[in-house]
Structure formats: structure tokens, C-alpha cells
Chains A and B, each alone.
Chain A
Amino acid sequence: MAAPGPMATPGSTPRWDEQLQRRLARGEETALGELYDQLAPMVHGLAGRILADQAAAAQLTREIFVHVWEHPEAFDPAQGSLRSWLGALTHRRAVDRLRLRRAAELHAPDGPAEDEIREVATAARMQYVVDSLPQSLRETIAVTYYDGRTYQETARRLGISEQAAKQRMRLGLELLATELAEERARQCAAHAGGEDGDGGT
């Protein structure tokens, strides 16, 4: 079986990324539109899940796309896909905003608020990973989990063998589990760093 990474989507190959970057640099309005069409669901979805506020999500989406349009050179294809770059950028800025909001509400970004932020950020990250799964895996998981089917029913519905259905479910969840572990590790690192920073102010 091919082993596409969780970020592999049809519109987001390295070639597509670099072509689009060049076109953005040239000032092609169509490139801006294509960028938006391809990545706005991810950017807006991620912003919306973290910020849970329609206006704030729209504003952050606007900010992210302005950033890419004004600084297409800031994207470095050597460091990963355009999608993952924008995902990380959105995630970072959204969480920053959430922290500011919580700090303003509570005057003290202490334990429970931080835990909550981590929880929200992880949920958003996982949903983003689910959305980025290869189509066949995502479809299998969605039909099974959200519609409450057995794997036999899913196999029939999708016209695949029961064996293939089981394999897809296992592989899909395996990819999610891997991302989850990485996200946790990232947060632990960030949290440790964050405490140092807070201590200094």
C-alpha cells in the first residue's frame, strides 16, 4: 500500500506549492483566488475551532491571506507544504489570540485556562489532521464513525472488501494517533517554554 503522509492532498503537491508561490510573487490575482479556494477551509476551520467566534475567525483568515499575498517569499518549500505552513501559522496566531483573550478575562493565565487552551488546540489540530487524511481513509472513517456503521456495512456502502475497510480504518487511526503523539510532544515543549517566559514578566 502506498503510504501518503497525512498532508498529502491533490491540490497540495510540492510542484503546485512552488508554482503558486511564483504566481503570487508575480501578482496574479487568479493565484490568490486559487490559494484561497484550496486553503481557506483549513485556515478558517482551524481558526474557528480554536477561537469559537465567527467574527474572530473571519478576521484571522483575512490576516493570514494578506500575509501570504504580501509576503509570498516567506514560504519556504524546503520546510514543508504550503498547507502545513499556513496551518502552523494559523494555529500559532489563533492560540496567541486565545491566550490574550483568556488573559484579559482572567487577569491570570493560570492552570485551568492553559489546560483548556491545550485541549482546544489539540482538538483543532486533530480535526485538521482528519481533514487532511487521504480521501479513501477519510471517507471510510467518516462513513463508519459519524454514521454509526459496522465495518461490514461500510464495506458494502463503499463497494470495497471487508478486509480493505478494516485496513483503512486501522491505517487512518494509526495516522491520527501518530499526529496526536506529536502534537502532545509539541505542546509539552511549548508549555515548558511558555512557563519560563511567563516567569520573566
Chain B
Amino acid sequence: MTTTEEQHDALRSLLGAWALGACPRPEAAELELHLRACSECAEEAARLREAAGWLAVDEPLDQPGSLRQQVLDWCLARRPAELPVPAWGLPYSAETAKLDALLRDLGPEEWQEVVELPWHGGTEYLRPAEVLCHLAAVDGYLALALGLPDPVPAGPGGAVAPAERRVPPQEPAAVPSAPRVPPQGGRFAGITERSARLAADQAGRPPQSVRARWRRQTHELVRTAVLASQGNTPVDYGFATVPLRDAFVDRAFECYVHGEDVARAVAYPYAPPAPQHLRQMVDLAVRMLPHALAGLRAARPEHAGAPAAPPADGRDGRGGRLLRLVIDGPAAGEWLIPLDGTAPDDRQSGPPGGEPVASMVLDGLEFCQLAAAHRDPDRLPVGEHGDRAAIREVLHALPLLSRP
């Protein structure tokens, strides 16, 4: 039997698919007939099939999430770093590494899963690559503060005009058209808009390249922060300005929360932050709480419990009530939360006198999940002592710290 040059080439191009068992039966039969007659093809077929045989090996051991910290600690104990990462950068390093490790294992179908990202104003629905764009877009505020390039492409003045753009970037004050978005939705218009712009920019790219880009930026951020900053650099989020040291903890927290959102969507396990990192997250949330309490009272005045207004004792709010927060679990610690004051920044200098009106005890991870609006404040297991109304108020204020 003779085969034309053209038929030979056509059959030969099938060899890879054939070796993988990926040819429909008639094509495979035709090729196998050809192999009996063509030693050139037969030789390649044998080589490729032998190689394909090695694809069927066992899955490697799962890399335990705690291994990274163990290895790094071990290395640093043997040779201390000359340029160490400051404590405020460590949660971000760890959480971005953890998310990256999860994404490394995602298959093509898992990149198509829809991830639910709840926050106190609703739920966002994004694919994993879009979640990365969201994280990268907000991380971009830190990049800008550190003098790095903004990952988000220039606004609609440019050549690319993303169709889904909802709010023009120069008018963040404009009230979003969707009526069910609470009034605060407007505060986060900048975040939403930047995330959508970056997602539109990256929409055509393979997910793994979106991941690589996000990962490069996270590495760049930590590296630049270590080399260039003492942690006081102001970072402008659009609706608030915070020092870099807090911004990094905030970003670590969001990375953890959304990493877990992604893991849930693809049914993978996801480990909580290391205890010392969790404690830093709790501490940041505690310091932000007075703002959330003020927001809660502004939105729902009837919610403010018995003393609706700060006690008018002539001490400009500094004599206000306190609540003792006791975190148990691995991140154990104690914090005093001013319920009526708005000057929480000098926690170190000691709160104004007076016994706390209430104490609440809860797990550190649950506290953070509540701050991310991933828990129902009325169903959280909380140990309560003292003024229950004050405790309820704090529990309901916490989710207000969440953002889209």
C-alpha cells in the first residue's frame, strides 16, 4: 500500500494525539495501518507513546501551607537577613504566597468557576482571574504610594474603552445608579471602577498570565517597601488615607479573605493566617472600629443602643465608654475599644480611665470573618459580659469594615 506525501504528513501530525489516546477511533485505525508500513512514523510513535506512559504518575504530595514559614524561619535562623522584611510586611508575604499556591494548581475548568465575594453591601461574582485583578487594582494604591507603576491602565481617555465601565473615574462622588447599593457604596466607587478597568484590560489573557502579573506585583511591592520605607508612607485609598504599615496588613487581610472565597468556589481547603498575622489583622480591625461605629450610627441612629450620643461630660469624647475585646484561639490577646470616641490611634498611650461597660470573647478568625462580612453578627458564638446592647452594636458595626 502506498501513501502520498500529503497523507503521510497528515497522519504524522496525528502522532502526538494518538500517543495520548486522543484520536477518534477511525483516525486511530487509519494511523495504525500506516504505522505498519512506515518505519519513520512507527519509530516516532514508539518514542511518543513511551513518553506518554510517564505522564501517569502519582500526584505529588500536597505542599503543607505551614512549610513556607518553617523553611524561611529555619533559613533566617541559620543566616539572619541583612535586609529583613518588617513585621507589618510578613502577613502580606505569607497570604499572597498562599493564594499563589492555590492558583498554581487550578485547572482550566476551575479558572472558569464563579467566585462569590460577599461584603456588607452585597455580593460580587467574579472568576478567579477577575478576583486577582481586583486584588491587584487595590494593591495599586500601595504601588502608587511607593512610586511603582500603577497596574491599572489609564482611564477612558485612552484608546481602550471597556464596555462595562459603570462610573466615570473622575466623578467618584456621583451616586451609583443601582438603588439597592447602600449610601456608602459611593465611597468605594474608585475601587470598583479600578477593578473593572483592570479586569477588562486583562480579559483576553490566559488566567495563568494574569496570575503571573499579579504575583510579580506583590513581590515588587514587598521588595520596594523593605528597601524604601519605614512604614509611615501615606497610602491614599481614595476614601481614606492610611500609613503603609497598616495598608499592608489590610491587603494581607483582603488577600486572605478573597483567597478563601476562591478556594470555596473550587472546593479546595484553605488555611487560616498564621496566629501572629491574624493578631495583626485583628489589631487593625480594632483600630478601624470607631469609624465603623460612627458609620453605623449615622446610617441607623436607632441602633446606637441606650446612650445614643456620646456622653456630654465635657471631655471631648475621651471619657467615653469602653468595651473589652478578648480574642481567644491561636491569636489570643486583649483590646479596649472606645465606643464613643473617634481617636483610637493612641491606643498605646492607654485609654482613658473607667471600667469597660462590657466584655466580649470570640475567636480571632471568627472576628476577622465578621469584619469581612462573611458571618452573621447575630449568629456568631460570642461570650458576653456586661452591656449587651454595646456588644450587639460592635458586632453589627464590624462588617461595615468590609468593602467590595
A165 to B215, CA, bound (A): 29
Asked if B226 contacts A166 (CB within 8 A), the reply is no
Q: How many A-B residue pairs have CB under 8 A?
A: 181
Asked if B16 contacts A173 (CB within 8 A), the reply is yes
Q: Does any Cβ of B come within 8 Å of A62's Cβ? A: yes
Query: Which residues of A from 104 to 158 have beta carbons under 8 Å from B?
Result: 122-124, 126-127, 130, 135, 139, 141-146, 148-152, 154, 157-158
Asked if A62 contacts B74 (CB within 8 A), the reply is yes
How many residues in B have their beta carbons less than 8 Å from beta carbons of A?
55
> If A28-B83, A145-B22 touch, does A33 touch B17 (CB 8 Å cutoff)?
no
A92 to B361, CA, bound (A): 52
Q: Does any Cβ of B come within 8 Å of A30's Cβ? A: yes
A11 to B68, CA, bound (A): 18
> If A40-B71, A139-B108 touch, does A29 touch B83 (CB 8 Å cutoff)?
yes
> If A30-B85, A41-B104, A166-B13 touch, does A122 touch B54 (CB 8 Å cutoff)?
yes
Q: Does any Cβ of B come within 8 Å of A44's Cβ? A: yes
Asked if A34 contacts B219 (CB within 8 A), the reply is yes
Q: Residues of B contacting A152 with CB < 8 Å?
A: 24
Asked if A30 contacts B219 (CB within 8 A), the reply is yes
What string of 1s and 0s marks CB contacts (under 8 Å) between A60-73 and chain B?
A: 01100110011000
Q: Does any Cβ of B come within 8 Å of A180's Cβ? A: yes
From B19, B47, B222, contact of A30 by CB (8 A): B222
Asked if A176 contacts B54 (CB within 8 A), the reply is yes
From B52, B57, B71, B104, contact of A123 by CB (8 A): B57
Query: Which residues of A from 159 to 182 have beta carbons under 8 Å from B?
Result: 163, 165-174, 176-177, 180
Asked if A127 contacts B60 (CB within 8 A), the reply is yes
A70 to B61, CA, bound (A): 27
Asked if A27 contacts B83 (CB within 8 A), the reply is yes
Asked if B82 contacts A37 (CB within 8 A), the reply is no
Q: Does any Cβ of B come within 8 Å of A58's Cβ? A: yes
Q: Residues of A contacting B84 with CB < 8 Å?
A: 29
Closest to A58 in B: B67
Asked if A142 contacts B107 (CB within 8 A), the reply is yes
Q: Does any Cβ of B come within 8 Å of A49's Cβ? A: yes
From A28, A40, A122, contact of B63 by CB (8 A): A40
> If A44-B61, A177-B47 touch, does A65 touch B75 (CB 8 Å cutoff)?
yes
Query: Which residues of B from 198 to 240 have beta carbons under 8 Å from A?
Result: 206, 208, 212, 215, 219, 222-223, 226
Q: Residues of B contacting A36 with CB < 8 Å?
A: 68, 71-72, 97
Asked if B57 contacts A127 (CB within 8 A), the reply is yes
> If A28-B82, A44-B67, A177-B50 touch, does A145 touch B17 (CB 8 Å cutoff)?
no
Asked if A44 contacts B63 (CB within 8 A), the reply is yes
Q: Residues of A contacting B298 with CB < 8 Å?
A: none
Asked if A49 contacts B63 (CB within 8 A), the reply is no
A71 to B85, CA, bound (A): 20
Asked if B60 contacts A49 (CB within 8 A), the reply is yes
Asked if A27 contacts B82 (CB within 8 A), the reply is yes
From A32, A54, A62, A145, contact of B20 by CB (8 A): A145
Asked if A66 contacts B51 (CB within 8 A), the reply is no
Asked if A167 contacts B47 (CB within 8 A), the reply is no
Q: Residues of A contacting B83 with CB < 8 Å?
A: 26-30
Q: Does any Cβ of A come within 8 Å of B81's Cβ? A: yes
> If A28-B223, A32-B72, A36-B68 touch, does A166 touch B79 (CB 8 Å cutoff)?
no
> If A27-B83, A166-B13, A174-B48 touch, does A48 touch B20 (CB 8 Å cutoff)?
no
Asked if B71 contacts A62 (CB within 8 A), the reply is yes
A174 to B17, CA, bound (A): 12
Q: Residues of A contacting B24 with CB < 8 Å?
A: 150, 152
> If A45-B60, A157-B108 touch, does A126 touch B81 (CB 8 Å cutoff)?
no
In this complex, the member of A124, A139, A169 whose beta carbon has the largest number of chain B beta carbons within 10 angstroms is A169
Asked if A173 contacts B52 (CB within 8 A), the reply is yes
Would you give the shortest CB distance from A172 to chain B, in whole angstroms? 7
Would you give the shortest CB distance from A83 to chain B, in whole angstroms? 15
Asked if A62 contacts B212 (CB within 8 A), the reply is no
A52 to B253, CA, bound (A): 35
Q: Residues of A contacting B19 with CB < 8 Å?
A: 169, 173
Q: Residues of A contacting B14 with CB < 8 Å?
A: 151, 166
A200 to B193, CA, bound (A): 72
From B23, B58, B68, B215, contact of A150 by CB (8 A): B23
Would you give the shortest CB distance from B231 to chain A, in whole angstroms? 15
Asked if A66 contacts B100 (CB within 8 A), the reply is no
Q: Residues of B contacting A172 with CB < 8 Å?
A: 16
Q: Residues of B contacting A127 with CB < 8 Å?
A: 54, 57, 60
What string of 1s and 0s marks CB contacts (under 8 Å) between B35-69 and chain A?
A: 00000000000011011101101101101100110
Q: Residues of A contacting B104 with CB < 8 Å?
A: 41
> If A37-B100, A127-B60 touch, does A30 touch B22 (CB 8 Å cutoff)?
no
- CB-defined A-B contacts under 8 Å, sample of 6: A45-B63, A66-B71, A70-B78, A127-B57, A130-B55, A144-B20
4 closest A-B pairs by CB: A170-B16, A27-B82, A169-B16, A48-B61
A interface residues with partner B (beta carbon < 8 Å): 10-11, 26-30, 32-34, 36-37, 40-41, 44-45, 48-49, 54, 57-58, 61-62, 65-66, 69-70, 122-124, 126-127, 130, 135, 139, 141-146, 148-152, 154, 157-158, 163, 165-174, 176-177, 180
- Name 13 extra pairs, CB < 8 A, besides A27-B82, A126-B51, A169-B20: A29-B84, A33-B97, A44-B67, A58-B64, A62-B70, A65-B75, A70-B75, A135-B206, A139-B108, A166-B13, A169-B16, A176-B55, A177-B51
